[in-house]
Each structure stands twice: as structure tokens, then as C-alpha cells.
Amino acid sequence: MSNQRKKDVEFLRKAIEVAARSQEEGAHPFGCILVGSDDDVLLEEGNGFPTDGGPGHAETNLARAAARKYSPEFLSGCTLYTSVEPCCMCSGSAYWAGIGAIVFGTTEHALGEITGDHPENMTMDLPCRTVIASGRRNIDVRGPFEELETEILDTHRKYWS
């Protein structure tokens, strides 16, 4: 396993911990972190469905907070780590904030197979790579990570059943 992959798995595990805390606090089990170019965790966000409804996704919450706190130039050297692939809204939020990389544990498509037509998680089968490729700025996208998918998806199976 490459050093980058080891680091990605380590940070994804931290995002999974944030997702677990989000669920413990009564929200959906989604979580993400923002990591700076020096590998410091700068921000973390869980899901905000109880207060924000459908737009309260962890990645959008994080991108908004990051854009308030840091310049796009700084954010271009940062990585957003998230348990589940960002939806089109969240991918767009990371794009507009200027975040330089997105790393996810499992795909939105795999999540959609679990949640189906659940009214609180109407997934869109639109890969974040497609959203990012539609823009004019390059963002490095890495994922999914097979070694974490079972763990992440088992949590969602339990939650959404």
C-alpha cells in the first residue's frame, strides 16, 4: 500500500468517526473532515438534517465553513475526506469553496442501493467525478476504498432499515 493510500485510509477513518458522532447526536451517519497540506485536521462536520433538512449534508456544511475561514488559495492545498462520496450538491460546494482534493470511502451509488427512495436520502446517481469534471478547476478525486466499504455500508444498512 502506498504512503498516500495509507494516509487516505487514516483520514477516512477519522471521517467515519465523525459520521458515528453525527448519528449519536440524532442526525444521519455522514461525516467529513478537512485536512490541510501539513496533514492537520482543520475542520470536521457531521450531517445537519435535524436542523437544515435535505441541504444539511456534512460536506456542504464543511465547504461553507471552510470558505468562511480560509481563502481559496489556501483551500486549494486542502483535502476533504468523507465517508460517502459527495453528492452533486456537496461536490459543487467543495468546487466553489476551492478545495483541492476529495477522498471518499464508498460510492453514492452503493449508498443508493441501501436507501432506495427513502425521503430523507434521495440520492442522485451522479458520481462526484462527473460533477467535478464539468467545472473549470481541477480537483483530485480519490475513492472508493474497498477496505472501508463494508464497514461504512453496514452502518448505513443498520441506520436506514
Positions marked catalytic: 59
Neighbours of 35 (CB within 10 A): 24
Contact in structure between 65 and 105 (CB atoms under 8 Å): no
Distances (CA, A) of 55 to 87, 128, 145: 11, 16, 26
CA distance 110 to 38: 32
Q: Kind and range of the H or E element at 45?
A: strand 41-46
Give the count of beta carbons closer than 10 Å to the beta carbon of residue 96: 14
AA identity, residue 153: L
End-to-end Cα separation, the chain, in angstroms: 34
43 and 61 in contact (C-beta within 8 Å)? no
